[in-house]
Structure formats: C-alpha cells, structure tokens
Amino acid sequence: KISVEERVRIEKAMQKAGRFSNIIIRDDLSEDEIARFTANAYRFPDIKLSAQLYREYPHSELTSHLLGYVRRVSEADLDRLTEKGLRARYINSDWIGKRGIEAFYESKLRGQLGLNHVEVDSRGTELRVLDRQHPVGGEDVFLTIDLALQKAAFEALGNQNGALVALDPNDGSVLAFVSKPGYDPSLFVRGFDEFTWRQIRDSADRPLVNRASDGVYPPGSTLKPFIAIAGLEENVRTPEWSMWDPGFFSLPGSQYKFRDWKKGGHGEVNLHKAIVESVDTYFYKLAHELEIEKIHKYLDQFGFGSKTGIDLPRE
C-alpha cells in the first residue's frame, strides 16, 4: 500500500521529472513485495522493477562522522550542481555524498553516467538502442585510518560524549578520528520516518555534530608549553627562573584570586616543574607579562585558530 505522504511525494516527483525520466515510487522492497509485484506486473505496464546498488556502512557508528553518508539528490543539490555546471553528471534518482569523506570526495568517487541514445514511439516506449555510452566508475580513495586504533579510540571514550583524534607524528596523517556519539549512516541511505528523524535531530547528545572537526573548544592545559616557548623566545623567562606558588594568582591592583588546580599551591616552581605539574599560576603570571599580542604571535606560528586543511567538509 502507498501512504498519503508517499502519494504526495510521487506526484511532486512526476511534476518535476521530464517526460522520459524515471522516478522512484518505492525502494528497498522485501522479497515478498517483489514476488507480489512480479506476479501482477502485467497490470502496471508503465511501472518496472529494477535492481540497484546501495551503499553499506559495516562499521556503523564507529566511522559515521569520518565517512559520512550518501542520500538521494535533493532539489537543493540539483540547483547547486547546476550552478557549478555539474548537473549533467546526475539524474533525479542518483545518490550524492552528504557528509564526511563521502561529501568531500564526491567528485572523485562519483564517476560518469552511461548514456543510451534510443528510438521511442509516440507513447515514449523504447523501440531500439541507437547508440550506447558506457558508464565510467569513480576513483578509489584510500584512507590512513588504522581501524584497530579507531576501535580503541571509540571504546576509550566509553559512555562519554567527546572526540579523539590520533595523528602520525612523522607526516601528520590521521590514524584515528572519533566523535561520540555517532549515528547509523545506513539510516540515511535506506530512509526513515519522521519520528526516527526527530529522535536523531532533537537528541540532547547531538549525534549529528562532528565534535572532532566541527567543534571549537578551549585547549586547556595543552596550551602551556606554547606559552612557555613564547616566554623563552621573548626573554621574559629563563629555564632557571622560579617563583613561589601559594595556590593562586592575582592581577596587580586586584584582590580577585585565580586559583591553581592544586589547593595550597606547588611551592617553589621553575619552568620544568611548571610543565611537569601543570602549574596554573606560573602560566597565569607569565601570560600576564607577555600580554595578548605576543601570545598571539607565537600561537599563530603553531597553527592555533587556523584550519588544519583536513579533507572533511565543514571544518
């Protein structure tokens, strides 16, 4: 049976499709549905059954934010493709990469459509094929991801939401790329009802947000070594210089206390100890003496605030 919603969708698709264009009435049929239609196919001469490949994502949530997913092309997609001069590479029932690697490398993975030049009668019935242009497969894309490490990173986050990225220090290639929670990309390929979509979209855990590349977060104490480098380069500090840490730091003329993570402080602290024990107050004082322009100068050299250039959309 065809629901009211499906009927409306089909009617809209028929209005937008060209005279000789095919539209999809329903996909992902069960074996029983295929058998019943085949037995009654003579009653529907303008409807045909055809097999089609579907993208499978065997690792589901584990690689969802990395690989992304494909979906049927939308009107917005077709408009965008028309503007870029790529509309001829797609038909109305095609798939297109929407997120992740699927979206970023869409033009490489895509390939080229085949083309049949056919003779038809006045009703549009195909009589014979005059010419045939065979389709061309897309390119292969090989990732640097270590699947075992990807699984370990995913499991390390446990029940927590967060992101974990592992890079090869030799060349910067990405070995693991995890954002949690993820989602099942196959849902977007097979389709889902409005209720399921709302559950995903409105979830407080925001499973569609790629925390590893889309999110912007304070760097925390990972910033301290770079502040130390700025202090050394600007001769504001030497490795031997030390200070007494009472467990807090106050700006000149202020009584407000910026607390260290360790109640009571770390005692006498030099640069080495400040990094080893992650002494907050040492770097509060150093940052105040450097001031924002010098801090920005050095952080900029290390790429803070800049895009990494990772081959994923929406960084």
Indicate which residue of 221, 254, 278, 306 is catalytic.
221
Could you please report the per-residue DSSP string of the chain? ---HHHHHHHHHHHHHS-TT----S--S--HHHHHHHHHTGGG-TT-----------TTGGGGHHHH--EEE--HHHHHHHHHTT-GGG--TT-EEE-SHHHHHTHHHHH-B--EEEEEE-TT--EEEEEEEE--B----------HHHHHHHHHHTTTS-EEEEEE-TTT--EEEEEEES---THHHHH---HHHHHHHHT-TT-TT--TTTT-----GGGGHHHHHHHHHHTTS--TT-EEEE-SEE--TT----EE-SSTT--EEEEHHHHHHTT-HHHHHHHHHHHHHHHHHHHHHHTTTTS----SSTT-
Distance of alpha carbon 183 from alpha carbon 62, whole angstroms: 8
Active site residue 74: no
Distance of alpha carbon 65 from alpha carbon 62, whole angstroms: 8
Nearest alpha-carbon partner for 187 in 71, 312, 51: 71
Name the residues annotated as catalytic. Answer: 221
